[in-house]
Amino acid sequence: MNNQLCSLSKSHYHEILSQIKSTFAVVPFCKSDITATRKKPTLILRHDIDSSLHNALVMARMENELGIESTYFVQLHCDYYSSLTIEGISLIRSLRDLGHEIGLHYDPVYYNTLGISFEKGVSQDIEILEAIIERPLLSVSRHLPLLGGQKESLPSKIKFNAMNPDYINGKYKYLSDSNGVFREGCFCSHLNNLKDYCFLVHPIWWTTDGDDWKSKLRTQADNDCVLVRTRIENKIDQYSAILEKRKEYDAQLMQKLKQDAKS
């Protein structure tokens, strides 16, 4: 592949996945320590979900179709999506059901804003995300690594911290598409180097239309507006149906209140 012509797109990501599957043992963090029987170099595939659970699900399905498992790090306090709505919980569980690991993308700035310790904040977030994914949480990554300020001490149950120097040009060569701009060329230009890698791939850059990172973010904003308008229209339909039967529903409510008072 010609790195100068690379576009961050679904088709190019599919090409990259196909090649890494044949060349590397591609694993999520939770399986990265099982190396004894591997005859190929290891590639840890990681995703920080900073913008959209919908985009993440598009990428997760693509990987699943090729038999690839990866780690999706979810923010619980994201400005751009909610993990705690019924829809958000369903999307996260869909990622899980595709065979991917779910990790926590924690944000120390949020804990600072609340005025709570890092230990209390991250422990609460882990407990909430474990309730959503219905299994123990083993892996974490930090959002915006240069912000925060508190000393960070993770619970002993966390086995994999993406900020461990081993994963950032230590044991593993680290490559990232952060901000939609590569520091060392596209992932595809590294795939003939038979060494252990950790790839950080942000779904928004590969699953959203646009010529550059700015236009992709604006496309994401348009897509989010469509989703909000759809929710509002559904709410209008729901309220309209309720108003049509208001007297009937009011009578049912009064009956229930009387029955509850007797019990």
pLDDT range class, residue 48, cuts 50, 70, 90: very high
Question: Do 161 and 37 share a structural domain?
Answer: yes
CATH of residue 73:
3.20.20
Q: What does the pLDDT read at residue 235?
A: 94
Q: Are residues 103 and 188 in the same domain?
A: yes
Instruction: Calculate what percentage of the chain has a pLDDT beyond 70.
Output: 95
Domain end point (choices 186, 208, 230): 208
34 and 92 co-located in one domain: yes
Structure confidence at residue 41 (pLDDT): 93
Average pLDDT over residues 95-103: 98
Residues 76 and 195 in one domain: yes
| Local confidence band at 1 (pLDDT 50, 70, 90 cut-offs) | very low
Count how many domains the chain has.
2
Q: Residue 4 — pLDDT band, cuts 50, 70, 90?
A: very low
Q: Could you tell me if 140 and 109 lie in one domain?
A: yes
Residues 226 and 117 in one domain: no
Q: How far apart (Å, rounded) are the C-alpha atoms in residues 71 and 93?
A: 13
Looking at the fold, whether 12 and 57 belong to one and the same domain comes out as yes
What is the pLDDT confidence band of residue 145, given thresholds at 50, 70 and 90?
Answer: confident
The verdict on residue 222 lying in a domain is yes
* Same domain assignment for residues 39 and 112: yes
Residue 40 in domain:
yes
| pLDDT value of residue 3 | 43
- Which of 169, 190, 208 corresponds to the end of one domain? 208
Answer whether 44's CB lies under 8 Å from 192's CB: no
Asked whether residue 260 carries a pLDDT value surpassing 70, the answer given is: yes
Would you state the pLDDT for residue 146? Answer: 67
pLDDT score for 149? 61
Q: What is the pLDDT of residue 2?
A: 39
- The whole-angstrom separation of Cα 99 and Cα 35 is 19
Q: Is 213 part of any domain? A: no
> Given its phi and psi angles, is residue 67 left (phi above 0), alpha (psi -120 to 50 degrees) or beta?
left
> Do residues 40 and 62 both lie within one domain?
yes
| Domain annotation covers residue 182 | yes
Report which of residues 2 and 91 the model is more confident about: 91
Percent of the chain with pLDDT over 90: 81
- Read off the pLDDT of each residue in 78-93 and give the average, rounded to a whole number: 96
Q: Domain span at residue 252? A: 218-262
Q: Is residue 186 part of a domain?
A: yes
Q: Are strands 42-49 and 71-74 parallel, antiparallel or unpaired?
A: parallel
In a domain, 1, yes or no: no
pLDDT at 144: 83
Is residue 53 included in any domain, yes or no?
Answer: yes
Identify residue 97 by its one-letter amino acid code.
D
Q: Stretch 199-222: mean pLDDT, rounded?
A: 95
Is 11 inside a domain boundary?
Answer: yes
Query: Are 87 and 190 part of one and the same domain?
Result: yes
Assign 3-state DSSP to the chain and report helix, strand, coil percentages, each to 5.
Answer: 50, 15, 35
Residue type at position 159: K
- Crossing angle, helix 53-65 and helix 213-244, to 10 degrees? 110
What value does the mean pLDDT take over residues 236-257? 91
129 and 240 housed in the same domain = no
Same domain, residue pair 98 and 203:
yes
Contacts 24+ apart (CB under 8 A), 175-182: 175/199, 175/200, 176/200, 177/8, 177/201, 177/202, 177/205, 177/206, 178/202, 179/213, 180/8, 180/204, 180/205, 180/212, 180/213, 180/216, 181/213
How do residues 115-134 score in pLDDT, each as one tens digit?
Answer: 999 999 999 999 999 999 99
pTM score, two decimals? 0.91
